[in-house]
Structures are given as C-alpha cells and as structure tokens.
Structure 1
Amino acid sequence: MASSMSEAIRGHMGRQHLSGNRLAAMAGVSQNYMAKRLRDDAPLTLDDVESISAALGVPVLALFNETAQLAAKRRLVLIRDTN
C-alpha cells in the first residue's frame, strides 16, 4: 500500500505541476528526504502524509481513499495476471 500512497502523491504533484523540490520545501523536509519517500526507498510516516497532504491542499482522508483505490486496482491486475 505504501507504493500506492507515493503513486497518489506523485499524481497530485503532476496535476499541480509541483516538483519534488517544491513539495519538499512546502512540506518542511529536505529534497533528499522527500525523494526517498516518493521512490519508495524509505517509508512514509503518518506525519509525512499529514505534512504532504497539507502542502498539496488535499485532505488526508482523500489521499488515503485514493491510495486504497490504487492498491485495489493493483490487486486486480495481479489476480488477472495469475489466472
């Protein structure tokens, strides 16, 4: 589900034309810290999700709902691929 969360965040970044550097600055973290989380090289904490959500102007619950939808789509693809 973590990769779905980073995918949801990257989607919002794209729609808002935000770079990783800009999002990091808006969320109050370093560019390196943000990049690791967006690449799924390090886990996102709840504090990360809250600060990123605020920076994106997206409610936390909406971001979690979008993440759940992306994760469900991934599971469907995996099920189809195994059948």
Structure 2
Amino acid sequence: MSSGSMGRSGVMASSMSAVIRDDMGRHRLSGNRLAAMAGVSQNYMAKRLRDDAPLTLDDVEVISAALDVPVLALFNESAQLAEKRRVVIIRDTN
C-alpha cells in the first residue's frame, strides 16, 4: 500500500467492516454510539463502516472492546468471509 492517502478498503478490511456491522446490529449499537465508544468522530467511523477507508488494527481493537467480542473472533470471522468473497471474485473473472 502506498504511503499516500488511504483508498477504499480491500477484501479483508471490507469483510471486517461487514462482520462489525453485523455485530453492531446484534448489539443494537449505532454508528454514532460506536464512534463515541471508540473515541473517534462519527464521520471517521462512518467512512470505515462504508468501506470508504480501511479499518486500522487500532480501530479493530477498540471496536472489539466496545462490542465485547474478542479481537481474534472478529479476525476469524472476517477471514472466513474474505475467503468466500475471494472465491466469488475468482469465479467471476474466469
């Protein structure tokens, strides 16, 4: 990744945001509330949840605490989803 401004999220980051959005729904937690719990602006969090910018490891750590979900659980679920998405992408290009 270049050292310039961050672009849209890749497969793993977008899978992570999908898992986080799903967990937010289960916890009935709004983006505004999650942003406040993470100590970031609503705009910052919204960009990451929309995949307009990738999540950082620090973001994931704080979000996992807010959702009361182990970091490793978020990564495992995200990795599984990312692998499914990669298979779809590969099939679509063949």
Deviations 1:13-67 (A, max 9, x none): 1111111001111111111110011111122111111001100101001000011
Do residues 2 (structure 1) and 6 (structure 2) align?
A: no
Structure 1: give runs of 5+ residues left out of the alignment.
none
Structure 2: give runs of 5+ residues left out of the alignment.
1-11
2:36 aligns to what?
25
* TM-score under structure 1 length normalisation: 0.90
**Residues paired across the two proteins, number:** 83
* TM alignment of 1:36-51, pairs within 5 A: 36-51=47-62
- Opposite residue 33 of structure 1, the aligned amino acid is Y
Distance in 2 of aligned mates of 1:78 and 1:43: 19
Higher helix content, 1 or 2? 1
1:59 aligns to what?
70
Runs ≥4 residues deviating over 4 A: none
Percent of residue pairs bearing the same amino acid type? 86
1:79 aligns to what?
90
Q: Superposition RMSD on alpha carbons, in Å?
A: 1.2
Distance in 1 of aligned mates of 2:87 and 2:28: 29
